[in-house]
């Protein structure tokens, strides 16, 4: 069996998390602080929010900055870390379509800066967050890490994100091959849960918000496209275990659930779980996205490699994730309105 973090790293650890104020990053902060580790977060809060970390008070060192400037700042201090997670990135299809130049620069240049920092500061185990988008549009419905990637034309902006994340992977693996940096590349598949925002095109928080308001849940296309959703609290538990597993170094690993559900079924599940009066509204892709937008019919990860490295169990079924997302959304609105429960 692969070593656990406690076997690989004894005692409290010093951890750097880029993008730590974001959706996934903030849950990773929760996990490490809960283990007694000290955490440094760098985030420019372009898509994340300091409110995601507010409950920790002074327990973390939070550097609100672009990554390069933030790395330079902490590099002047004690910059040795036991673990590094690179989660800072442009996220969501909507954001990529709105600002392709910024997304490309963010994903590639920041990753290179982070890897160079890690190399010059002790070469700790380093996690690079990638995406299932890297697979492009292959002619298979189950994606394995060594599958060929097939992308659309460069004139279709949607595929720029896949290219940038693929370059991030190339960079991470090259730093491992050329310099011995212990890098793990994780490809996330539809991570969902509390603190996720629907404003960047994420489907589940959009559905939950609409159901809470009694508005129609807008399903694009025929709704028969399928995805596999995995709760963020299950996902972040995987990451330190992979960094504590030397057999994972220099490898690309799918991370997520392999339980498929169609988007139409997802919408109905949200309505049923929340007891909402909302209906479902079909929307043509042409009404939701720019001309030439391409979507995948099915996306499901092959988790064989992940299972060969660590034991992975789902602790949060989709129904519980929906309930918890709804509770978090309502709690946030209550706080914004200044109403005490």
Catalytic site residues? 161
Could you tell me the CA-to-CA distances from 238 to 8, 72, 189, 312 in Å, in that order? Answer: 15, 29, 13, 7
Could you tell me the CA-to-CA distances from 66 to 41, 46, 83, 179, 262 in Å, in that order? Answer: 11, 9, 20, 25, 37
- d(Cα 137, Cα 148) in Å, to the nearest integer? 10
DSSP string, 194-258: TT--STTS-HHHHHHHHHHHTPPEEEETTS--EEE-EEHHHHHHHHHHHHT-GGGTTEEEEES--
- d(Cα 291, Cα 128) in Å, to the nearest integer? 32
Nearest by Cα to 60 from 24, 21, 87, 22: 21
Which tokens hold the place of 142? 């189950």
Which tokens hold the place of 270? 């949200």
- d(Cα 119, Cα 140) in Å, to the nearest integer? 37
- d(Cα 31, Cα 245) in Å, to the nearest integer? 18
Q: Are strands 260-262 and 226-228 parallel, antiparallel or unpaired?
A: antiparallel
DSSP string, 259-327: -EEEHHHHHHHHHHHHT----EEEE-HHHHS-TT----SB-EE--HHHHHHS-----S-HHHHHHHHHH
Could you tell me the CA-to-CA distances from 217 to 44, 281, 306 in Å, in that order? Answer: 32, 6, 34
Q: What are the phi and psi torsion angles at 309 (to 5°)?
A: -100, -40
Longest distance between any two alpha carbons in the chain, whole Å: 57
């Amino acid at each position: 069996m692969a070593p656990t973090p406690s076997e690989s790293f004894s005692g409290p650890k010093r951890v750097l998390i880029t993008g730590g104020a974001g959706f996934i990053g903030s849950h990773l902060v929760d996990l490490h602080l809960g283990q007694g580790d000290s955490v440094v977060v760098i985030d420019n809060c372009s898509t994340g929010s300091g409110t995601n970390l507010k409950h920790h008070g002074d327990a973390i060192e939070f550097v609100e900055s672009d990554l390069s400037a933030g790395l330079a700042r902490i590099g002047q201090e004690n910059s040795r870390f036991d673990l590094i997670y690179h989660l800072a990135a442009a996220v969501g299809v909507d954001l990529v379509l709105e600002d392709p130049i910024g997304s490309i620069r963010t994903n590639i240049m920041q990753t290179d800066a982070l890897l160079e920092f890690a190399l010059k500061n002790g070469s700790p185990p380093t996690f690079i967050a990638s995406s299932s988008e890297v697979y492009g549009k292959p002619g298979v419905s189950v994606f394995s890490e060594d599958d060929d990637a097939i992308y659309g034309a460069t004139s279709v902006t949607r595929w720029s994100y896949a290219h940038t994340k693929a370059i991030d992977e190339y960079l991470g693996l090259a730093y491992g091959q050329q310099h011995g940096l212990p890098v793990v590349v994780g490809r996330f598949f539809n991570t969902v849960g509390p603190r996720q925002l629907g404003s960047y095109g994420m489907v589940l928080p959009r559905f939950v918000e609409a159901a809470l308001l009694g508005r129609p849940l807008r399903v694009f296309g025929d709704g028969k496209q399928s995805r596999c959703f995995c709760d963020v609290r299950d996902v972040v538990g995987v990451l330190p275990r992979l960094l504590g597993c030397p057999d994972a170094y220099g490898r690309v690993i799918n991370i997520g659930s392999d339980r498929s559900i169609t988007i139409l079924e997802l919408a109905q599940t949200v309505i049923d779980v929340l007891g909402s009066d909302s209906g479902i509204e079909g929307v043509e892709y042409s009404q939701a996205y720019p001309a030439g937008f391409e979507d995948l019919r099915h996306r499901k990860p092959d988790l064989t490699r992940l299972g060969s490295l660590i034991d992975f169990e789902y602790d949060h079924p989709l129904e519980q994730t929906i309930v918890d997302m709804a509770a978090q959304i309502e709690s946030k609105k209550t706080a914004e309105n200044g109403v005490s429960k």
